[in-house]
Amino acid sequence: MNTAKTAVHFTDNYLLNPTNPISVNLIGAGGTGSKVLTALMEINESLIALEHAGLQVRLWDDDVITSANLGRQRFAESETGLYKSVALINRCNRWAGTNWKAETVKFEKDNFGRLPEEARAVITITCVDGVQARFGVAEILKEISYRRHYQDEPKYWVDFGNSQHTGQVILSTIGEIKQPNSEKYETVASLPFVTDEFGELLKQSEQEDSTPSCSLAEALEHQDLFINSSLTQMGCSLLWNLFRRGMTEYKGFFHNLKDFRTHPIKVA
C-alpha cells in the first residue's frame, strides 16, 4: 500500500543551535507589531530558559503615537508624541533586561536605491499596512539573499496581514533551507514569498482608504478590536514551533474572526 508521505519543512539548523542571539527585524509597531513584540519577548525568555541564545530584535517604525493608537495598540496616554518603536523597545528593555534596538525610519531603500544599514537579519517579520510596503520588503530580502556572507544570514520571513475581520500569516524561506534526509517525511526546502504566491490576492484586498484614523472609534471601523491579537498569538505560535519542534507541516493560515474559522496552509 502506497501512502503519501507528510510534507514538512525542517527548521534551519542555525535557529536551533545558534552561537549568538538570533537577529530579528520586526517591521511595523502598530496594532499587530506592538503585540508581536510582546510575543517575541516571551519567546526570548522561554528560549533562554531552554539554554538557547535567544533573540536580538530590531523594531522599525517611523510613526509617532497619537491618541487614536491608544486601546488597540500597546501604548499609554503618557507616550503620545513619542516614536512607537522607541517607546516599545525602551519598555521591553526595562522589563526584560534586553538590549533590543529601535529604528525611527521606514524599512525601505533610500532615494539612491541603497538598502537600510541594518537590513540583514536571520528572521524578518512584517506587520505593515500597505501591500506596497510588502513588495518593497520582498525586493530588499531578495537583494540581500544574493549577497552571501555568513553573519546574520537571512533565513525566514514571516508576514502578518489583516483587514477588518480577517487576516493571514505566511511563513516564507529566504532562499532554500538545507533539509535532512528523511524516510518518514517529504521534505520541503523552499517556501515561496507571500508576494509571489499571493501577490494578486494582496493587490485585490488592498483597501482604497489608507488614511490614518483620528480617533480610536474611527480606527475600530477599519479593524476589529481583537483581529491583531488573535493573529499575533497564532502567528507567533508558528514561529515558536520552528524553534521548539524543529519542523512544521504548515507555512501559515487564513483567519476569520467574524465566524471564528481558521484555515491552515500546508507547506506542500
Q: What value does the CA radius of gyration of the chain take, rounded to a whole number of Å?
A: 18
- Does pLDDT of 213 surpass 50? yes
- Does pLDDT of 226 surpass 80? yes
pLDDT at 155: 96
Contacts 24+ apart (CB under 8 A), 40-48: 40/125, 40/236, 41/92, 41/95, 41/96, 41/98, 42/236, 43/236, 43/239, 43/240, 43/243, 44/96, 44/98, 45/96, 46/240, 47/243
Q: How do residues 59-98 score in pLDDT, each as one tens digit? A: 999 999 999 888 777 888 999 999 999 999 999 999 999 9
Rounded mean pLDDT, 30-48:
96
pLDDT at 130: 85
- Does pLDDT of 27 surpass 70? yes
Q: In what order do the strands lie in the sheet with 166-173?
A: 101-103, 55-60, 22-27, 123-126, 156-162, 166-173, 250-256, 261-266
CB burial of 179-205 (b: ≥16 within 10 Å; e: otherwise) equals: beeeeebebbeebebbbebbbeebeee
Q: Which CATH code for domain 7-266?
A: 3.40.50.720
Angstrom distance (rounded) from CA 189 to CA 180? 10
Q: How do residues 132-148 score in pLDDT, each as one tens digit? A: 999 999 999 999 887 66
Which residue is listed with cell 522561554?
46
Terminal CA-to-CA distance of the chain, rounded, Å?
22
Q: Where are the domains of the chain?
A: 7-266
pLDDT at 171: 98
Helices 84-96 and 33-49 meet at what angle, rounded to 10? Answer: 20
The 3-state DSSP class for residue 241 equals helix
pLDDT at 88: 96
Q: Which pLDDT band, with edges at 50, 70 and 90, does 208 fall under?
A: very low
Share of the chain above pLDDT 70, in %: 91
Average of per-residue pLDDT values in the chain:
90
- Does pLDDT of 215 surpass 60? no
Q: How do residues 249-264 score in pLDDT, each as one tens digit? A: 999 999 999 999 999 9
- Does pLDDT of 159 surpass 80? yes
Q: Which phi and psi (to 5°) does residue 129 adopt? A: -80, -55
Rounded mean pLDDT, 217-233:
78
CB 190 within 8 A of CB 268: no
Whether the full predicted model's pTM is greater than 0.85, yes or no, is yes
